Amino acid sequence: MRRPGGWWRVKSTPEKVETYTRWSFHFFGVIEILALGVTAYGRTGAGLATALCLLVTVHATACMLVSSRALDWTRGRRPQPVRPMWALVVVSAVVSITAVVIAERGPSGEVETAAGSVYGGVLCYAAGVITLGVRGWRRRVAVVGAFAVGAGLLTFPLEMPLLASVVLAGLVMVTGGFLAATSIFSLWLLNAVYALDEAKETRVRLAVAEERLRFGRDLHDVMGRNLAVIALKSELAVQLSRRGRPEAVEQMIEVQRIAQESQREVRDVVRGYREAALEVELAGARGVLSAAGIVSEVTGETGGLPAEVQSALGWVVREATTNVLRHGDAKKVAVTVRMSEGRVVLTVENDGVAETTGDGPGDSAGTGGPAGTGGSGLSGLRERLSAVDGTLEAGPVGRGVFRLTAEVPLPAAAAGAALGVAS
């Protein structure tokens, strides 16, 4: 069962910013209702105040709808909300004209103030919202300017002085422009967060590609020279065989030996045993995590460990790092190597664990899956550690923290040497 607030924790950072932005636009609608509709009850009678409040509520609802559709359009999920924007223009005109009629024909006094606030307020909010659905600063200025001009023209039935109409239009221009600038900046910030997240993913892919290139270079180093020697010796054996020379057999025996040696070296490269020093893997993990924008901390000594132990623990570091990049949303990864009672203990912790409901996949080391799931990542590491009598434990160890612990016993001589290096 998902804990309260789990829906927020499972969201990525861009999704959280988007949720905040969307509800900020909706909150603007709530502010409009409170500032223009509810306050009417303190300025005029209950009947007219209720009518004004209902008009403002309808207008605020239309603004919420348009802002939400415009945000989806900005993210490329919907077509441009042209019809909802024109519908908002119509609703704004109807609400403004109705407010003018109420101010003109209703009782004089405070009702004119209430209706006037609704009249100017809905035009300001509409101008700020509609700019979300257009691109280009010229078009946005034109939208705000059109609402300001419309606000001035609609005051003529009220027989307001020209100066008052100009001032009202200026207020709509300034207030609507401010709301538009605030809303557009929020969208710009949201797009920037998504762009940064995409850049982080790109860095991760580049880091993985760099690792593949390193593997390709190692494989080329192993096979390039040996294949060249095999080709030369095979050609020499062919020439000697054609001449009936007994040395051809010796050359083919040498070709066979080199081929077997190449096969062994390729297996070593594929299994990660070639140059699989723990210190090398830790340095590589630090570089990959740094390229992905993740802070990494490595503590402990790795010198004096047997080659087979370093190789097994190096695979743990490599697998855990890969899964943090692929499956988590970690900001910090801590790797600790320590000696304890004749055993070397490697701990990898990250803060990118996600909320799980118990039915999702948890098959990779370093992710937020539950401990003990029989996925290929953990199973593969356990198989490698079992070759050196090692054990592996993995699972959440607190709120938002995932820990992977590998323990490998050390031979007596190796343990003494390792403890001497550590001291």
Q: What is the pLDDT of residue 417?
A: 47
Q: What is the pLDDT of residue 371?
A: 37
Which range of residues forms the domain containing residue 166?
A: 7-199
Q: What is the pLDDT of residue 347?
A: 92
How large is the average pLDDT for residues 234-256?
85
- Kindly report, residue by residue over 42-62, the tens digit of the pLDDT: 767 777 788 888 988 999 999
pLDDT > 90 fraction of the chain, expressed in percent and rounded: 12
Provide φ and ψ at 402, rounded to 5°.
Answer: -120, 130
Lowest mean pLDDT among 253-257, 300-304, 358-362, 403-407: 358-362
Q: What is the pLDDT of residue 358?
A: 37
Provide φ and ψ at 407, rounded to 5°.
Answer: -125, 135
Quick check: is 215 in a domain?
no
> Where does a domain end: 161, 178, 199?
199
- Kindly report, residue by residue over 161-210, the tens digit of the pLDDT: 677 778 888 888 898 889 889 989 988 999 998 888 888 777 777 777 77
Q: What are the tokens at 221?
A: 């180093």
> Where does a domain end: 199, 223, 249?
199
> Per the structure, how many domains does the chain have?
2
- Kindly report, residue by residue over 98-124, the tens digit of the pLDDT: 887 777 666 655 556 677 778 888 888
Residue that has been written with the tokens 């422009």 in this structure: 177
Average per-residue pLDDT for the chain: 78
CB-based burial of residue 258 (10 Å sphere; 0-12 exposed, 13-18 middle, 19+ buried)? Answer: middle
Q: In which band, very low, low, confident or very high, does the pLDDT at 8 lie, cut at 50, 70 and 90?
A: confident
| Cα–Cα distance measured from residue 255 to residue 260, given in angstroms and rounded to the nearest whole number | 9
> Where does a domain end: 162, 182, 199?
199
Q: Are 167 and 68 in a shared domain?
A: yes
- Give the CATH number, domain containing residue 380: 3.30.565.10
